[in-house]
Amino acid sequence: MRIEEKESDPFDLPMNNLTPEMKAPARLFNLALAGGTKPIGEVKLPPEGSSFIVLLLTLRNDRYDAVVLPANGASFRPGDVYLHNTSEVPVLAQIGNKRFTLNPGKGKIHTPTGAIDETYYDVGFLIKEKDGTNRFLSTSRWPVTDRTRSYLFFFKDPLTQRIRFRAVDELIPLAE
């Protein structure tokens, strides 16, 4: 992280989990590669609040787009899912008894409802193909839990050119 000439200690950007909690240097700061000066992204925190989740989504030209979510509060609670579609086609989703469309370049916090026997949700994702047909991406069952928040990212695989997704779960510590 960089603000003016000040630089934080370097940190890794993992693909399958979250980084440890970090202190932001300001409400607005740049991201740069360790030892570099060229910005690879900008993070703008809201004026209200003191704890945030910053998701760095890859963009073209070696830059990151920062999505900022509240870390504590009523809008993103344990059991919720954040979905973000970085692909160029709509993703049709069903989580529990809710169906919705996640348009290209958009993100959404979703609170699952409609659990089966209060133990799991039926989940399915389809891709809206350019010819108007739908292609299944995945079907599964997710357990009902208030111990995690989940993040799903839909993207075009650069090798296969097919739409894929990656999920990352955040374990929520038990209240003391």
pLDDT value at residue 59 = 64
pTM of this structure: 0.86
Over residues 43-75, the pLDDT tens digits come to 999 998 888 999 988 766 678 888 999 888 788
Over residues 134-151, the pLDDT tens digits come to 899 999 999 999 899 999
**CATH second-level architecture of 74-171?**
Sandwich (2.60)
| Residue given tokens 């799903």 in the structure block | 152
Contact 152, 140 (CB under 8 A): no
Q: Give the pairing of strands 64-70 and 39-44.
A: parallel
Instruction: Name the residue ranges covered by the structural domains of the chain.
Output: 1-73, 74-171
Over residues 90-138, the pLDDT tens digits come to 999 999 999 999 999 999 999 999 999 999 999 999 998 878 888 999 9
**Who has greater pLDDT, 2 or 70?**
70
pLDDT value at residue 173 = 80
48 C-beta neighbours (distance < 10 Å), count: 7
CA dist 136 to 24, 111, 123, 140, 167, Å? 40, 22, 11, 11, 17
Over residues 16-44, the pLDDT tens digits come to 778 888 888 888 988 888 777 788 888 99
